[in-house]
Amino acid sequence: MQESILDQITTTPMSSGKRPILETRSMSLQFGRQVILKDISVKVNKGETIAIIGESGCGKTMFLKALVGLLSPTSGSVVFDGQDIQKLDDQDMTNLRKRFGFVFQNAALFDSMTISQNIAFPLRQHGVPKGKSAQNLISERLAEVGLPSNVLPKRPSQLSGGMRKRVGLARALILEPDLLLYDEPTTGLDPIMSDVINELMMRTRKRYPVTSIIVTHDMHSARKVADRIIMLYPYSRLEHGESQILFDGPPSALDSTRDRRVSQFVKGEAGERLMEMLASRNNGPANTISRVDPNHDDGMDEE
């Protein structure tokens, strides 16, 4: 008998008796009639690095924003360190955000501020930790991302794209967060600078007891940096009853997945997706895409 889609998903089991630091429970996000995320349940262990992959429009960035309370789920919940963040008042949510660091897609630096002021921005919002010096924290984080001190008085426009990304990482690390979220950290960078960012993410994980969630289209980055990869799929393109999570497992399991949608995304193969798009444009019936690769031999006889 053929396996169901859920049976085919490779999962990473939770450690026995270990409470996840972050959990989404049947979380859905909807704007009017447009469903972005539907019944997403994910558990993240402390110290894990998870890459979220999937084609544009599947809700990856919306998922990140919901995790830190920038968007409120339509239904379901987000639980961080045992707290349902939707039930927190404004003051408690502000205090909780001290434990989050966010590296935005295009760094999102303030053009009117110097690099020093950009890195120190979370300190202005939340205060300098006791026993710490703001200037020492700025210098330490700058050194950790491999930038010289002479960039501190400069403006973001005076730096390259790769340098701005590293400033964004330094700013996200200034308060030593427990949860670090990256939105497309290597987008727009050349292969060498992309790998510099990958190495910095890996060093950050070794230096701090941080849990990291990375939204990326860069499969080299996902394979190199992540302990676990989750692939989301656009809700509007799912068959009835399918989970929006097509894959949840270690990078090594990607190459043996039986779901063609996952393997085609990972390999960057557009053939069937292109035919589907053309058929939709011509108002014709889209070709039925096989969810299981018929050429894949898993050693089981079909009944």
What per-residue confidence (pLDDT) applies to 282? Answer: 65
C-alpha–C-alpha distance, residues 113 and 152, integer Å: 10
What per-residue confidence (pLDDT) applies to 129? Answer: 79
Question: Could you say which DSSP state residue 292 is in?
Answer: B
Per the CB < 8 A criterion, the answer to whether 76 and 87 are in contact is no
The whole-model pTM stands at 0.81
Q: Name all domains of the chain by residue range, CATH numbers in brackets.
A: 1-12+20-99+180-185+213-272 (3.40.50.300)
What per-residue confidence (pLDDT) applies to 293? Answer: 45
What per-residue confidence (pLDDT) applies to 77? Answer: 96
Residues constituting the chain: 303
Binned average pLDDT, 10 residues per bin, the chain of 303 residues? 37 52 96 94 95 92 92 95 92 89 87 94 83 87 92 94 92 92 91 92 90 94 96 92 95 91 86 62 50 42 37
What per-residue confidence (pLDDT) applies to 223? Answer: 95
C-alpha–C-alpha distance, residues 259 and 106, integer Å: 32
Please name which of 149, 42, 62, 159 lies closest in space to residue 109, comparing C-alpha atoms.
159
C-alpha–C-alpha distance, residues 1 and 285, integer Å: 29
